[in-house]
Amino acid sequence: MSSNPVEPPPGPPPAPRIGSPIAERLQGFHYYVRLLGWRGKSMWWLLGLFAIAWVSAGIYKVQPDEQGVVLRFGRWVETTESGLHYHWPYPIETILLPKITQVNQLQLGVGQNAAQSDMDLFRSKQMLTGDENILEGECAVFWRIKDSGKFLFKVDNPEAAIKIVAESALREVIGRTPIQAAMSDKRQQITDQTRDLLQTLLDQTDSGIWITQVQLQRVDPPGAVIDAFNDVQRARADQERARNEAEAYANDIIPRARGEAAHIVQEAEAYKSQVVNLAAGDAKGFLAVHASYVKAKEVTAWRLYAESVDELLKKSTRVIIDTSSKGVAGVVPYLPLADKEKAESPGRGK
């Protein structure tokens, strides 16, 4: 009995190596086909089917919510939109299909990192306003992929880049806005300006990111001075209320005073017109009398005398007649009965 160990049967010889790994695999495949006894047309049919399957593997479909990123030997060469497309199959080209309609959210001023200290979080919230006051703000940024190729290969850490650029944009906009406006009626304007500035900065770096919305969630003074700030705000509110009341009183009293002044001016104008017209009428009457006097002095003089006496006697309760005058001898003195009773009444009392 021989002491030599039993040698295993010889296996198939190794496939010859021909330069590249692909050539080596094809050569090995051809060797194993010959080993299995396939010859001639059968082998070529098998190779043809393999080639058809390999070429068919390059057909790919991009969904409406995706973009196709074509990598040739690991290098980005093309970005395709939704639909059916073709690329060279693996290992020449590969495809990445990131979602471009998915909206992502990033919080600013909120401690999401456990390694972030309270002091770092406190400082990240603080911003200097346009009138040199300090605010603490929290903001939410919503973004999605606009260009998948740029997003994957132009930016190393997209979320960190968005956070840094968003904080810079928000601080710049707040730095141009007074504190009172930032806390009241300019919030929407601040968010719009921040979104536009953030999108401009991201486009300049070819980030392939689209900012859909910016929400300014909280803008308050620092906690250490919040009570004093509230007192100032209440004082300003009281000042504004007093100013509004004063303006309301002024709006009420000034129109009335102006109306009374206009009424007085109108009365003065009417009195002026009346006096001027009467004076003009008297002047015209005097001129007419003067013209008559120039033509007939005696007649005019006697008429003026008679008119004057007539006006005077209209106001008198007693009439004295001078019978010595020429042409009045036939005048009968007349005393009204009422006047006679008044004259006799004092005697009755006695």
Does 249 map to a domain? Answer: yes
Rounded Cα distance between 234 and 306, Å, is 86
Supply the pLDDT for residue 274.
92
pTM over 0.85: no
pLDDT tens sequence across 301-319: 888 888 888 887 777 776 6
Task: Give the helix/strand (H/E) hosting 219.
Answer: strand 209-220
The total number of structural domains in the chain stands at: 4
Shared-domain flag, residues 115 and 200: yes
Does 115 map to a domain? Answer: yes
Across all residues in the chain, what is the average pLDDT? 76
Shared-domain flag, residues 212 and 108: yes
| Inter-CA distances, 218 with 107, 112, 122, 129, 298, Å | 12, 17, 14, 15, 106
Does 74 map to a domain? Answer: yes
pLDDT tens sequence across 29-49: 555 555 555 455 666 777 778
Q: Which residue has the higher pLDDT, 23 or 87?
A: 87
Supply the pLDDT for residue 304.
83
User: Domain range holding 289?
Assistant: 235-294
Of 142, 129, 156, 155, the C-alpha closest to 198 is 142
User: What number of CA atoms fall less than 13 Å from residue 95's CA on the CB side?
Assistant: 19
Shared-domain flag, residues 69 and 133: no
Of the ranges 32-41, 116-125, 177-186, 273-282, the best mean pLDDT one: 273-282
pLDDT tens sequence across 138-174: 888 999 988 888 888 888 888 888 888 988 898 888 8
User: What number of CA atoms fall less than 13 Å from residue 224's CA on the CB side?
Assistant: 3
Mean pLDDT of 4-25: 46
Q: Confidence band (pLDDT; 50, 70, 90) for 279?
A: very high
**Residue 138 burial (C-beta neighbours within 10 Å; 0-12, 13-18, 19+):** middle
Of the ranges 35-39, 123-127, 181-185, 271-275, the best mean pLDDT one: 271-275
In this model, does residue 265 exceed pLDDT 90?
Answer: yes
pLDDT tens sequence across 163-206: 889 888 988 888 888 887 787 778 888 889 989 999 999 988 88
Supply the pLDDT for residue 20.
46
Q: 210 with 199: CB under 8 angstroms?
A: yes
Mean pLDDT of 21-34: 55
Shared-domain flag, residues 138 and 155: yes
Does 81 map to a domain? Answer: yes
Rounded Cα distance between 19 and 40, Å, is 25
Shared-domain flag, residues 209 and 173: yes
The token duo for 115 is 């390694």
Supply the pLDDT for residue 266.
93
Shared-domain flag, residues 130 and 207: yes
